[in-house]
Amino acid sequence: MKSLRFNFFLFLLAILISCSKNDDSSNGENLSIEYDRYIVWTTNDQNYSVGVELNTLVQDYATTMCYCRSGCSHSPGPGFTPVDESMPAADVYFTNFNDGNCAGYDENVRFNDSYQTGSYKLTTDDYEKGIYIDISLDFSDPSTHFTSSIGDQPSSSYVKITNSEPDNREITSGYFNFGQIVTGEFQARLYNWDDPSKFIDVKNGHFKLRVQSFQDGRLDKN
């Protein structure tokens, strides 16, 4: 009886080890994410990760926010610039997500509803609604700067927002800094800024970013 129990134990142990190996192999397709806000991706079989940890004084990266004026919309481009400029950098630009009048109350009141979950176009046109991605494999070397905002995309390319949550921060009574925590995924071809005949194919891309309104304001007209 003891021998039978021991053999049964070994059988269960073998199953657990097998399952563990299968789980590891499947998780190998997912990047390890070490930051609270981040952009991560794989290119040329190498994994990259940029971002910041919340409530941490010393950071590898500084958070950046570019407001590219396109059409009637302040198109925000949150991203991360490294303290050590030999490290990678990345930005995600949300172009023309504001539908309607620009600036002031009209833009602020719609801000949190502008970043809906779903698939979006990898745009090359600043005047249409879409998303594009900039990546530097070595921030100090301009020859390693790539963007999805120029050139054609393969049929396998995509970008989508998978989660979107308000993150408005009250500065004074009734006066807010408007923000949205936007999580998403992407796969794209990025072209070299200096020589668009060169490109990299990026896969397994993920981001979690705080998109911020162009200006602070109120949710009423008072």
- pTM score: 0.82
pLDDT over threshold 60, residue 9? no
138-180: pLDDT as tens digits: 999 999 999 999 999 999 999 999 999 999 999 988 888 889 9
Judge if 26 and 123 occupy the same domain: no
pLDDT over threshold 60, residue 133? yes
Asked if the structure places residue 221 within a domain, the reply is no
Judge if 24 and 43 occupy the same domain: no
- Helix, strand, coil percent values for the chain (each to nearest 5): 15, 45, 40
Contact 129, 116 (CB under 8 A): no
- Would you state the pLDDT for residue 99? 67
51-84: pLDDT as tens digits: 999 988 889 999 998 877 655 566 889 999 999 9
Judge if 16 and 73 occupy the same domain: no
Q: What is the rounded average pLDDT for all residues in the chain?
A: 83
Judge if 2 and 109 occupy the same domain: no
Judge if 55 and 147 occupy the same domain: yes
Q: Which of 8-22, 25-39, 87-101, 109-123 has the lowest mean pLDDT?
A: 8-22
Could you identify the residue written with the tokens 């963007």? 147
Copy the structure tokens of residue 198: 């060169």
Q: Could you tell me the CA-to-CA distances from 205 to 1, 6, 47, 114, 145 in Å, in that order?
A: 53, 46, 10, 22, 17
Judge if 123 and 79 occupy the same domain: yes
Give the containing element (helix H, strand E) for 44. Answer: none
